[in-house]
Structure 1
């Protein structure tokens, strides 16, 4: 299949997800502002979101997808007489793994509901200074914790569908959560006291909707899992193999989430609004990270797993090289744009209702700090699958542990200097270190070697990024983006026009150096 087309499909649907996500954040900012109660919501939502990344999209997917890809490659390449038996074994493996995940997350969800007060204290003890806010955070945590069960099963379904090269439904699924958020903010906030509870209800409804849309897609490819009793699920050899792989993967993901917990804890002590400013900045940063990094990682992991299981080293190296070039050519202009357009983008997306000029200034600082590490954050999504596909999860763990220490040591310097933006800057520097170490590890193992053309390619992307920086640096500071609040349509046109002009300038420079889109076309060998 055409990998660039697949990546474009995932990226396009992810774009839709991020647009609806930005609308959701825009409404959240306009209706609820950046207050202690929005801090309470972001803390409460971060808890199940943390476990989602650990159990579902993180450790589980990293362990499950390569093993499923290996089983599928074996079934696809087995002779006709053995193919049916291999397919039966593969479906049995999926049933047992799905059941183990389901029963585990039922227990985790129940424990989370019971332990909500202690979890909120561990995440953001600063909220205890305001009893009403703390109580609100505990209540919302209890409402949203079952979300981890729904979204983990969604991650299982996405892993299966992506392995079968059915990328569209998994990429579209997050849109449903955002639509439920938007519907809850607009239609339910007047029915709750405090109104912020409406967002927690939206998260719960969104989890159900995301799972519901995946089930018919699984049924169409004959891979709809059946839930069996937990004894049979955990006794299965395939399940035990996934659990064994999940050990180091869980540690790797946990390291990142521990860093997030520490940063949230620090932000909760920097004053009301700090957690929200970081969260709004993170939303802007995640737009290109998901649009580019997640799309590339989603498409690459199944193909890398297949190449690894078949021992095709040349295809493996070529896939990684292709992913890295796409990462650089797309992430470089996004880094420049996010850094120099931080204020206009923040004003355009959030400067409405209760989100005032000070909130714009504080969020802008976080966005600018996040932009420093954007290319590293995107590169990790390409480089980490290079290890996962080989079922080497221990190396990323060691790197993640080192980066955790580096990030928190940096906080000692950056937070007293830059306050909440210092937390974002530390994360950015840590991401660059993480990407550099992953790349070095792949080089040492011979998994990646640069194909011809890299010097000219880097010269072209560097020149295009420099041209963008000069143009934006001379124009953006001369406009009063915050003062244009009373002229929203003018601000929309000016921001979007500036982004489009900068993008066209970048493409023109690439074209002058001879870079063409056709050079990034690639087909997988399956």
Structure 2
């Protein structure tokens, strides 16, 4: 068990570093191009390839692992069959994306006056980046192949390798006469190199050969049946991103696209790290307990996981809300990203961060639905909220809040989705979160949250200094002290247990 925990910890650390490089790329784009049309073009061009990578690649990989691990599967044949399906599917989708480049890109700029030069830059970036979709989807499949062979570190390191190479090549090329087109070239080159890295790693295993096979059997039929609902179920965050980009394109406000991108990426950074840490550790345990029909442990894991997410993300949400302007200044406000860009981006971030807990909790709860064999309920809830509540809220509020309406749409729809998931899980599977269970630990955390909110409000209002980094450091120190102090004062069980473990470790 200790070995397993160490492996999970190492993989989690690699994922955090990989995400840091990806976020650093966003920071550098802000440094180089601010919130102007160039940064808008880069983000727009990369959106579709990234969508295919995360949604299509992720779905194919999940289904591949599921079918591969079955005893009845002819593993050698299935490796070739799934490889063929993934490659052909990725090529077809990429060709369609490139063939319809103009209408796709124009749809993201409806309502905005875009010059021919600006459109040409976006199109050229898109045509460079779109072919990377083939290699990104294929790399996701290879990662699954490595994972079923217990090579978790290698598949995780590939993402780190990709983000680091993408960043280095893009920065070097963009500082030459190539300019922003360097990001398009870098997207394709880094994707190719990532696949090469994974191929070399897999060949060293001397396992089943990878190749083409157009033979159809039960395994390929099941792959197609399973991949569509998983694709829809795993696309929530990416669908939000696509709709956010589309609505931002409808607004005439300059910098709307970039401000939404910067704010959402900054919001997703702590959320993604924390949800990865929680689900990576708890989900394998959940799967094991479900196989044993240990319903008592499953209920405990459900409530405990939501409680941990609450304790981790709500304080971060409070801090980020009151220090949204300072965070944008510290992270992005350099060179071309000026005070005007901060003024546009900070209000968007302030609302976005309010959805952190709900987005993370929704991801966590759906794991329990999947473990129960129920993939349709979370898909239906997700589609209703992303395309119904989300869009309705945006267009209802866009007249009064402008670009911030996009963040409001995400917040309101994620809350409604959260309510649907917990209510259905409570009645269908008797799964209850802390507030509805007999566990009083949830309520012990409420007074600290109130104290943190009050202190952060006053510190963000009255402890603002001329130098942004002093404001940031002072705010962070106060937040850390109040967070730990209030949790210990009110005897929050999880924090007390962690504190006791640290004392035992350092007092040995």
Q: 1:39–1:344: structure 2 CA closer, same or farther, 3 Å change rule?
A: same
Cα RMSD over matched residues? 3.1
Structure 1 distance, partners of 2:161, 2:237, is 26
Q: Which has the larger displacement, 104-113 or 313-322?
A: 313-322
Alignment match, 2:367: 385
Q: SS of 1:280's equivalent?
A: helix
Q: Is the 8 A contact 1:320 1:448 kept in 2?
A: yes
Q: Is the 8 A contact 1:332 1:461 kept in 2?
A: no
Q: Which has the larger displacement, 145-154 or 369-378?
A: 145-154
Q: Is the 8 A contact 1:192 1:198 kept in 2?
A: no
Task: Verify: 1:400 aligned to 2:378, yes or no.
Answer: no
Q: Is the 8 A contact 2:488 2:495 kept in 1?
A: no
Task: Verify: 1:476 aligned to 2:460, yes or no.
Answer: yes
Instruction: Give the alignment partner of residue 108 of structure 1, picking from 86, 93, 96.
Output: 93
Alignment match, 1:83: none
Q: Is the 8 A contact 1:215 1:224 kept in 2?
A: no
Q: 1:155–1:264: structure 2 CA closer, same or farther, 3 Å change rule?
A: same
Mark the runs of 5 or more structure 1 residues left unpaired by the alignment.
Answer: 75-85, 485-490, 522-526
| TM-superposed deviation, 1:505 | 2.5
Instruction: Give the alignment partner of residue 350 of structure 2, picking from 368, 384, 390.
Output: 368
Structure 2 distance, partners of 1:406, 1:213, is 42
Aligned positions, number: 494
Structure 2 matches for 1:173-252, cutoff 5 A? Answer: 173-193=158-178, 195-215=179-199, 218=202, 226-229=210-213, 231-232=214-215, 235-252=216-233
Q: SS of 1:441's equivalent?
A: helix
Structure 2 distance, partners of 1:241, 1:495, is 52
Structure 2 matches for 1:145-184, cutoff 5 A? Answer: 145-162=130-147, 167-184=152-169
Q: 1:431–1:326: structure 2 CA closer, same or farther, 3 Å change rule?
A: same
Structure 2 distance, partners of 1:7, 1:378, is 19
Structure 2 matches for 1:281-430, cutoff 5 A? Answer: 281-309=263-291, 311-403=293-385, 404-430=387-413
Task: Verify: 1:53 aligned to 2:54, yes or no.
Answer: yes
Structure 2 distance, partners of 1:10, 1:500, is 29
Alignment match, 1:488: none
Alignment match, 1:81: none
| TM-superposed deviation, 1:426 | 0.9
Task: Verify: 1:445 aligned to 2:428, yes or no.
Answer: yes
Please give the TM-score of this superposition, normalised by the length of structure 1: 0.84
Question: Which structure has more RCO (C-alpha within 8 Å, separation ≥ 6)?
Answer: 1
Task: State the Cα deviation string for residues 434-454 of structure 1 (Å, max 9, x = none).
Answer: 222222232233263458986
Task: Verify: 1:507 aligned to 2:492, yes or no.
Answer: no
Q: SS of 1:191's equivalent?
A: coil
Q: 1:333–1:293: structure 2 CA closer, same or farther, 3 Å change rule?
A: same
Q: Which has the larger displacement, 258-267 or 424-433?
A: 258-267
Q: Which has the larger displacement, 242-251 or 353-362?
A: 242-251
Q: Which has the larger displacement, 195-204 or 161-170?
A: 161-170
Q: Is the 8 A contact 2:302 2:433 kept in 1?
A: no
Q: Is the 8 A contact 2:326 2:471 kept in 1?
A: no
Q: Which has the larger displacement, 405-414 or 300-309?
A: 300-309
| TM-superposed deviation, 1:55 | 0.4
Q: Is the 8 A contact 2:80 2:212 kept in 1?
A: yes
Structure 2 distance, partners of 1:454, 1:222, is 53
Q: Is the 8 A contact 1:335 1:374 kept in 2?
A: yes
Structure 2 distance, partners of 1:394, 1:455, is 30
